[in-house]
Amino acid sequence: MLRRLFAPRPVEGIERGIPVSIVSMTDVVKSYPSAQKGGAPVVAIDGVTLEVERGDVYGIIGYSGAGKSTLVRLVNGLEKATSGSIVVNGTEITSLPERSMRAVRGDIGMIFQQFNLFNSKTVARNVAYPLEVAGRSSAEVTARVAEMLAFVGLSDKAKNYPDQLSGGQKQRVGIARALATSPSLLLADEATSALDPETTSEVLSLLARVNRELGVTIILITHEMDVIRSLATKVAVMDGGRIVERGDVFDVFSQPENAASARFVSTVVQGIPSPVEVATLKARHEGRIVTFSFRDGNASQAQVFLDLAAAGIRFELVYGGINDIRGRAFGHLTLALTGDDAAIDSVLARIATHSEVTEVSR
């Protein structure tokens, strides 16, 4: 029953392996007038091009003020782009009148950091709300509310009020409400940022089911790298209104190319010593401190040790960690190397031909 009502709509092209975008942004700029008279406008989005394909869980990450929320508000038409093109579900929305925008919005669900539930309505009435606004019959509303509450595991809370629920339960009501009208796209703006770690992982598992079982595409805005690591399939890193890096989550986490992404990644990736830790390592260990990075369990880790031993370099493992992202592993091992400097230089050059080598201190 659940599956039938939720069955993702057939999408032309998918069965032929052609990627189909649900959101397609091209050269989008959004600027706001300056708060000061005559001041320069605030450019919140500065030339963003982004394709989100059906079925993606697309994470948008960036520090506060990077432009993430503005990006989401552009997708659901709460803000109009200053220039550029935004196509949602095949409709160009940049110059769409508000009346037509409502139809586009009907296919987009949204959840928020502060849940945005009606405190004066019961859980069931909160979930019923978008269905009533959409003019569904009361029999249909009743059936759908029951189905949604069962999906999020809150059937027994139907008659409770939001104030009687925990944060995680409130967000589950938020998800039930957002999905009541069977949208194909869910926008999640810092949806787990107000939750403790355990509740966060419950909500993330629910969102993973929303994507996998219901076929809903999710755009996930967060400043929490861990959320991206556990849920997203693709990620875009925003900085100063631009997308500075994007791609497969494993690639961006294991080998960030942009300095801002690297800063984010280093906060959650195991095994990269911070500058303070490097100083401690240097004080504690003799020799040159070198980090070797490995991806996907290739043979190069064993080769590093073989190469060092063959060159007569003594090594000691001083720092390290292995990370798992959706079943793929990468890691960083930091060694203190002692021996002849020229021999170390030459072996590091050799190792650099098959592994990533970063000398962090010498």
Positions touching ligand ADP (CB under 6 A) are 32, 42, 44, 62, 64-70
Contact predicate 19/53, CB 8 Å: yes
Q: Which one, 30 or 282, has the nearer CB to ligand ADP?
A: 30
Q: Which one, 48 or 308, has the nearer CB to ligand ADP?
A: 48
Q: Which one, 14 or 43, has the nearer CB to ligand ADP?
A: 43
Q: Which one, 112 or 161, has the nearer CB to ligand ADP?
A: 112
CB of 68 to ligand ADP, least distance (A): 4
Strand boundaries in the chain, DSSP class E: 21-32, 42-53, 57-61, 83-88, 91-92, 108-112, 185-189, 217-222, 234-239, 242-248, 288-295, 314-325, 328-338, 356-361
CB of 84 to ligand ADP, least distance (A): 16
**Token reading at 155:** 């059937």
What span, in angstroms and rounded, lies between the C-alpha atoms of 49 and 26? 4
Shortest CA distance to 144 belongs to which of 6, 315, 332, 343? 6
Q: Which one, 64 or 137, has the nearer CB to ligand ADP?
A: 64
Residue with tokens 């399939």: 233
CB of 347 to ligand ADP, least distance (A): 44
CB of 66 to ligand ADP, least distance (A): 4
Q: Which one, 70 or 126, has the nearer CB to ligand ADP?
A: 70
Look up residue 245 and give its amino acid.
E
User: Residue 215: left (phi > 0), alpha (psi -120 to 50), or beta?
Assistant: left
CB of 4 to ligand ADP, least distance (A): 37
Q: Which one, 42 or 87, has the nearer CB to ligand ADP?
A: 42
Shortest CA distance to 294 belongs to which of 331, 268, 262? 331
Output the CA angle 39-44-46, nearest 5 degrees. 105
Q: Which one, 66 or 104, has the nearer CB to ligand ADP?
A: 66
Q: Which one, 34 or 166, has the nearer CB to ligand ADP?
A: 34
What span, in angstroms and rounded, lies between the C-alpha atoms of 279 and 274? 9
CB of 110 to ligand ADP, least distance (A): 14
CB of 76 to ligand ADP, least distance (A): 13
CB of 132 to ligand ADP, least distance (A): 30
**Token reading at 163:** 């104030």
What span, in angstroms and rounded, lies between the C-alpha atoms of 256 and 249? 10
Q: Which one, 42 or 146, has the nearer CB to ligand ADP?
A: 42
C-alpha distances (whole Å) from 213 to each of 55, 209, 210, 325 are 11, 5, 6, 21
CB of 356 to ligand ADP, least distance (A): 30
What span, in angstroms and rounded, lies between the C-alpha atoms of 33 and 198? 41
What span, in angstroms and rounded, lies between the C-alpha atoms of 156 and 164? 12
CB of 32 to ligand ADP, least distance (A): 3
Contact predicate 183/107, CB 8 Å: yes
Backbone φ, ψ for residue 256 (5° rounding)? -65, 140
